[in-house]
Amino acid sequence: MILPIYQVDAFADAPFQGNPAAVVPLDAWIDADRMQAIAGENNLAETSFFVPEGDGFGLRWFTPEVEVPLCGHATLASAHVLFRHLGYGGEQITFQTLSGPLRVSRTADGLLDMDFPARPGPESPPPAELVAALGARPRAIVEGATMLAIFDDEAEIAAMTPDFGALARFCRPLDNIGVSVTARHQGDQGWDFVSRFFAPAKGIDEDPVTGGAHCALTPYWAPRLAKTSLVGRQLSRRGGTVLCEDRGDRVGLRGRCADYLVGQIAI
């Protein structure tokens, strides 16, 4: 079987920035084990697969080790492939996913706007196991599918060197996606908050730019900064910027994509 494959840098203005995702369009679903094997072979944070479904598309995401219920950058990359490479003529795409319908629209300024579920959560003191795994003590955590670890100094975020084995052991029983460490931005780059994202229990030590984490980051920071439109910057080595909008029980996440590879795989 020969399948098309695209590798796209999401939340990026040019190649080698943002977060790379592989996108594999399908005419019909193939076996989940085969999709997982393809994702493992690609060895990227996420490989997405989509099929035509009703007026839109079914969409699934796989890390090199597991299928996940939500992924932002691979959704952005999938919409980019449909709009740019596969001739999708509408202004909005609806993806049916494990997290419900997700809509991606083209904007007048060339961005892609994703409408995702907001993921707020309760705030609580940081567990000792998390402090030990991060090697730094957050002021608080926000529980949820993406755990937030809140810091007061963004320099701690940039300098953090977690023990990924310990962090995987902490996260695995919680069955969350990972931990996003975050602080208010204190410089003049135009960002509102910064973050990094660690998901070693899902096969990703550090994700370069994580759209799904901003589903939790946006509802956390919006009321504290008294803003509905925010700029989040992920301080990974590749780096990336996510334009965020608090929409109540939804969030808007906007960015661009850059093509890196167009090819075929034989399975």
Tell me which residues are annotated as active site: 46
Token couple for 36: 């997982």
Burial state string for 103-122 with b = 16 or more CB within 10 A and e = fewer than 16: bbbbeeeeebbbbbebbbbe
Token couple for 122: 């309760």
The C-alpha atoms of residue 258 and residue 10 are separated, in whole angstroms, by: 7
DSSP-assigned beta bridge partners for residue 140: 150
Token couple for 114: 């994703």
Place of tokens 């300024």: 109
Which are the contacts of 182, defined by CB distance < 8 A and separation ≥ 6? 148, 149, 150, 151, 157, 193, 194, 195, 217, 220, 221
